[in-house]
Amino acid sequence: MIESNPKSFLLLLAAMTCAVYLTRAGGYWLMGRVTIGPRIRRMLDALPGAVIAATIAPILVQGGLRAAAAMLAAGAVMYIWRKDFAAVAAGVAAAAAAFALGL
C-alpha cells in the first residue's frame, strides 16, 4: 500500500514542476535554433487542433451519447457565435439534458 505523507507529495509536486518547466524551456530553446520554414510553420499552425482532437477523441469514444451531445452543442455554438463561455455553457446544458433524458 502506498503511504501518503506531505513530504512525498511536495517532492512529487516539485519534480513535476521541474519536468514541466524543463520541457517548456527546452522547447523554446530548441525552436530558437531552428529555422522556421513553410513546412514547420504549417506543422506549428496545425498543432493546437491536433491537441484538441487528441483530447476530445477519448471523451467521445467513452462518453457515449451524452458526450456526443455536449460536444455537438459546444461545437455548434462555437461555430455560430465564436464565444468560448457560451460554448462551454451549451455543452454543459446539453450533457445535463441528455442525463435528464436518461441517455
User: What confidence tens digit (pLDDT) does each residue in 72-96 have?
Assistant: 999 999 999 999 899 999 999 999 9
User: Does the global pTM surpass 0.75?
Assistant: no
Least Cα distance to 70 among 46, 94, 96, 42 occurs for: 94
What does the pLDDT read at residue 2?
Answer: 57
Residue 3 pLDDT class (50, 70, 90 cuts): low
Written as nine digits, the cell of 74 is 459546444
Q: Which residues contact 94 (CB under 8 A, 6 or more apart)?
A: 69, 70, 72, 73, 74
Q: What is the tens place of the pLDDT at every residue in 40-76?
A: 889 888 888 888 888 888 888 888 889 999 999 999 9
Q: What is the pLDDT of residue 22?
A: 95
E-strand ranges in the chain read none
